Every structure is written in C-alpha cells, then in structure tokens.
Amino acid sequence: MERLPKRERQQRLTKAIEDNPFITDEELMKLFHVSIQTIRLDRLELGIPELRERMKHMAEKTYDQVRSLPLHEVIGEVIDLQLDQSGISMFEIREEHVFSRNKIARGHHVFSQANSLAVAVINDEIALTAAADIKFLRSVKLAEKCIAKAYVRSISKGKAKVEVFTYVSDELVFQGMFTIFHSKTKARSEGGYLDADSD
C-alpha cells in the first residue's frame, strides 16, 4: 500500500479513532504503514489525546451515571454507559490477574468484568446477579485488553436479562447471559416503560 498524503492520512486517522476509541498507536501505525512517531505527531497536530487520556475522559463522563455499584466495585474501566440499554468496559490483564506458570488470565477476572458491567448497566440502586449462563471461548493472556459490551435484552418487574460479549481485538473470548434482580417496579417494552402493576 502506498503512503497517503498527510492531509488524507490525518482525516482517515481521525475517523479510525472515532470508529474505535480503543485503537492503539501501534495499531494505527500498522494500519497506515507509517512510524509510531508519525502517528504521535498526527495526533498532536489534530489535538487527539493518547489512548489512556481518551479512555480517562470517556470514563469520567460515564462514572456519575452508575447507580448500582460503587466505582471501586466495577471491574475494568467503564467507557460508555446507556442505563438500561448498553455499556462498554475495558480491562487490561496484568501480572496479578494471571497464573504465574503460563501467563493465562484466571477465569474469574474475565467473568467479574462482564458480571459487574451487567449490574452497572441497570438503572437501579439495588441490582444483584441472580443467575449467569456463561461460555469461555478462549484463554486470555497477560497484557491483552478485554473489551466487554453489555446489552440489556429485557427488563420486567424485579428482573432484567443482560447479555455480555467480551472481545480481545476483534476476537470473541467470553459470552454470558446474566439475570439481574433489581428493585424497580417498571417493566420495559419496545416503546419505553410500562407500569408493571397495570398488567
């Protein structure tokens, strides 16, 4: 692939980051076939902060929305949250999360990220996991970044179903359907909320 003119490369770089806020400078470097310094200079000129700063900014906008869990109880960084609809979190596998012998993440860390996101997405001060149907699709290794995406599939009186998919890059590594008990008395239909007592 021939190198793009600077202006076009910067336009595409901006779009690539808008499409995937989790993209790293290393991934951008490979995508545009330029050096890491070129990517950093492009970001600087465009006023786009590095990945860690972008995530911190997204997380700050989100944290005040979480009602069901205190901040320190959410496993991973919550990046996006649409209460009672969807959420995204990022969890980097570090030394303390892996087995020392093979550097593979202990399963309960991957599960905890998904489970806490499923609870955090519920717009209620009381939300607890009642059941989970889960599948580990491949081992996650040291230094990999887990991106969990939660989708609220249904909310009825006192119960919600939340599906979570966890990816490393574009590869699905974990999948779970969580049943969450909550204290709300409203049920969600396709058109919004119904008063569950009116059935």
Domain CATH code at residue 72: 3.10.129.10
Q: Domain check: are 60 and 44 in the same one?
A: no
Are 12 and 37 members of one domain?
yes
Q: Is 65 exposed, middle or buried (0-12, 13-18, 19+ CB in 10 A)?
A: middle
What local confidence, expressed as pLDDT, does residue 191 receive? 41
Q: Assess whether 131 and 184 both reside in one domain.
A: yes
Q: How many residues does the chain have?
A: 199
Residue 186: give the domain boundaries: 55-198
Which residues on neighbouring strands pair with residue 180, listed in sequence order?
Answer: 129, 160
Q: Which of 161, 104, 111 is nearest to 134 (CA)?
A: 111
- Are 16 and 70 found together in one domain? no
Place of tokens 């569950």: 196
Longest dimension (CA), the chain: 64
**Rg of the chain over all Cα atoms, to the nearest angstrom:** 19
Same domain assignment for residues 155 and 130? yes
Residue 69's φ and ψ, nearest 5 degrees, are -135, 140
How confident is the model at residue 59, as a pLDDT?
62
Q: What are phi and psi of 159, to 5 degrees?
A: -145, 140
Long-range contacts of 4-10, Cβ-Cβ distance < 8 Å, separation of 24 or more = 4/32, 6/42, 9/34, 9/42, 10/42, 10/45, 10/46
Could you tell me if 82 and 134 lie in one domain?
A: yes
Question: Which of 82-86, 144-148, 165-169 has the weakest average pLDDT?
Answer: 82-86
136-140-145-148 Cα dihedral, nearest 10 degrees: 10
Number of domains in the chain: 2
pTM of the predicted model as reported, rounded to 2 decimal places? 0.67
Tokens (6 digits) for 88:
């995204």
- Same-domain pairing of 28 and 66: no
| pLDDT tens digit sequence for 99-108 | 999 999 999 9
Residues 75 and 157 both lie in one domain: yes
Summarised one tens digit per residue, pLDDT across range 14-35 is: 998 888 877 888 889 999 999 9
Averaged confidence pLDDT in the chain: 85
Q: Which residue has the higher pLDDT, 24 or 164?
A: 164
Domain assignment present for residue 1? The answer is no
Half-sphere exposure of 175 (CA within 13 A, CB side): 5
Whether residue 33 is contained in a domain is answered as: yes
Query: What percent of the chain is modeled with pLDDT above 90?
Result: 56
41 and 131 share one domain: no
Q: Could you give the CA distance from residue 4 to residue 1 in angstroms, rounded to a whole number?
A: 9
Residue type, 189: S
* CATH number for 20: 1.10.10.10
